[in-house]
Structure 1
Amino acid sequence: MKTCPNCHTPTLQPTVYHNQQVDVCRTCKGLWFDEGELDLALASADDDYDTVDVEKHPGQAVTNSDRLCPICSAPMTSHNLLAGYQVEVERCPQNHGIWVDKDELEATHHASQLHQHLGELNGKVNWKTWVFQFLTQMPVEYNIKPKRKPWMTWLLILVNTVIFLSGFVSVDLAKELYSGVMVPNEISHGQHLVTLITSQFLHGGWMHLIGNMYFLWLTGDNLEDALGHWRFLLVYLLCGTAAALAQTSFMPNSPIPTLGASGAIAGLFGMYLLWFRKASITFMFFVYQKKLPPWGFFLIWIGFNILGMVTNSQGVAYMAHIGGFVTGLIIGWVLLGWVRARYPVLTVLEHPKLKIRR
């Protein structure tokens, strides 16, 4: 039998681990994977992945190890399993294989999901991201890639855009469309309640539309992936309605029309903040671009909204933003356990040994 790198005794014997024949120590229960076996085992253990390339993308060596390779007897080096995932394994310097201690096996299973996501999460700001944000004043997102196409998000963007462009066809059509704006004074008196929904699809100008649609695209794809297409639509409309009601309760006698998707999108911000805490969103401090965690980015955003409301700045429904955001936080908190059970990658991303570079 091969010698166990941990026990230093000939206690390794063949066993089957996720359809792969590997070697297990009869004493400490650690596993030895010959070259390529770990990737094959991880792919077999996770139905979502046909291939895994963890072995080709190791983290930097942490220390030299006193453990010896059971194939060539060379001293192995201790590595993080992946760059940014601080689960330590021992690797043979001659690439004969990898040793995993028993207490690291469960954390090792998550590598099949993380190896495809860490590149996106750990992406660096560069001159391209700087130029984009400097010229557009729009942030750049670093997050995991959705597993399915966010067609509901695309559909919402398309509908909002088509409705906006339709207003240019004729004056009469524009009047008919914009009769769907929400007026707080009417809502508070129980009139035109359908405008709580229709106003979410109307915008007052190009920048209003582009800004809202960009943030819908930025947050919507991941949230739709977690919720499912139709639940995402339901939550989106619920947040927008709650935002309109918040604005009405703040200014119940206001005759000023309120329109736009920003209240619904503010609700998406709240859910995004709770569910995708390892994501990053860039913020431009004058000319310095910095990756921020979602809570940091949205804390600044909500601060601007509170400041605008306190100073009574005109032209923006600040209370709608705040109301939508709070609604999203509540929905996000209520559904957190359900979403993590249905979308396990969110639990994996909360692993304490996962470190994101910002």
Structure 2
Amino acid sequence: MIPIRDEIKARRVPVVNTLLIIVNVIVFCLQWLLASEQSEAILYQFAFVPYNFLMAPIKFSNLRNIFTAMFMHAGLLHLGGNMLYLWIFGDNVEDAWGHLGYLMFYLVGGVTATLVHTITNPLSVVPTVGASGAIAAVLGAYLVLYPHSRVLTFIPLGYFMTLRAVPAIIVLGMWFILQFFSGVLSLGGPDVGGVAFWAHIGGFVTGVLLAILFKKRRHQTPQQQRW
């Protein structure tokens, strides 16, 4: 399924979400403009490598790369898919959390996703890049905060595609199930198709848990609805 847009209009301008998309696009353009030799050197310098991190977890470059890798992408389809999901679902999560709270949430989701990927692939020397882990946290939070929101989605039916409004709990629930089973199949071996599925799983679960805590906190203190 390919989501196109959701039905919920944000009450305020999603400043942080828009800036995150812009930064990701700018970084990708810079990667693309570099010569192939330079691009590969930049990849190994700023991408996250699980094995390197475990060998020296407090080394500055390894800590830095947890964050720099979040804004790098392996190709145009990688970037486009991630930014599409962030554009559709991120504005509403930012609306609920507030600008600063959303930025903190996004980064925490990305860091947690990276650590889960490291735990499940401790010997991997493959450079890992992409905003997928952080965006997966956004999807998890959206599922908790807006489960019944309808998402306009392309659904494959044989050789054709149909456009339907589907509840978010189905769209995002099916997305997570696909990531989970793909992640289970990848255990004990390389990532299926070069995709860090456990980063997606870790980010999504982090988003769900933080959103549950957020809803509980907001219910207890209704006069303070922003972090």
TM normalised by structure 2 equals: 0.85
Q: Distance in 2 between matches of 1:325 and 1:195?
A: 21
**Higher helix residue share:** 2
* 1:217 to partner: Cα distance: 0.7
* 2:146 equivalent in structure 1: 276
* 1:212 to partner: Cα distance: 0.5
Structure 1, unaligned stretches of length 5 or more?
1-136, 345-358
Q: Percent identity?
A: 34
* 1:155 equivalent in structure 2: 19
Q: Relative to 1, partners in 2 of residues 1:306 and 1:331: Cα closer, same or farther, differing over 3 Å? A: same
Q: Relative to 1, partners in 2 of residues 1:233 and 1:305: Cα closer, same or farther, differing over 3 Å? A: same
Partner of 2:194, secondary structure, is coil
* 2:46 equivalent in structure 1: 180
**Of 321, 326, 339, which aligns to 2:200?**
321
User: Which amino acid counterpart does residue 216 of structure 1 have in structure 2?
Assistant: L
Q: Is the 8 A contact 1:302 1:322 kept in 2?
A: yes
Q: Distance in 1 between matches of 2:21 and 2:38?
A: 20
* 1:213 equivalent in structure 2: 83
**Of 181, 184, 192, which aligns to 1:310?**
184
Any idea what the Cα deviations from partners look like across 1:38-62, whole Å, max 9, x if unmatched? Answer: xxxxxxxxxxxxxxxxxxxxxxxxx
**Higher strand residue share:** 1
* 1:245 equivalent in structure 2: 115
Matched, 1:167 2:167: no
* 1:328 to partner: Cα distance: 0.4
User: Which amino acid counterpart does residue 332 of structure 1 have in structure 2?
Assistant: A
* 1:339 to partner: Cα distance: 4.2
Q: Distance in 2 between matches of 1:159 and 1:211?
A: 15
Structure 2, unaligned stretches of length 5 or more?
187-191
Q: Is the 8 A contact 1:166 1:173 kept in 2?
A: no
User: Which amino acid counterpart does residue 320 of structure 1 have in structure 2?
Assistant: A
**Of 80, 87, 96, which aligns to 1:226?**
96
* 1:67 equivalent in structure 2: none
Q: Distance in 2 between matches of 1:311 and 1:337?
A: 35
TM normalised by structure 1 equals: 0.55
* 1:256 to partner: Cα distance: 1.1
Q: Is the 8 A contact 2:113 2:203 kept in 1?
A: yes
Partner of 1:193, secondary structure, is helix
User: Which amino acid counterpart does residue 252 of structure 1 have in structure 2?
Assistant: P
Q: CA RMSD in A?
A: 2.0
* 1:248 to partner: Cα distance: 0.2
- Which of 1 and 2 has higher RCO (CA within 8 Å, sep 6+)? 2
Q: Is the 8 A contact 2:6 2:88 kept in 1?
A: no
* 1:176 to partner: Cα distance: 5.5
* 1:160 to partner: Cα distance: 0.6
User: Which amino acid counterpart does residue 181 of structure 1 have in structure 2?
Assistant: A
Q: Relative to 1, partners in 2 of residues 1:339 and 1:157: Cα closer, same or farther, differing over 3 Å? A: farther
Partner of 2:127, secondary structure, is coil
Aligned residues: 208
* 1:142 equivalent in structure 2: 6
Q: Distance in 1 between matches of 2:101 and 2:76?
A: 29
Q: Relative to 1, partners in 2 of residues 1:257 and 1:343: Cα closer, same or farther, differing over 3 Å? A: same
Any idea what the Cα deviations from partners look like across 1:187-219, whole Å, max 9, x if unmatched? Answer: 222141221111100000000001101111111
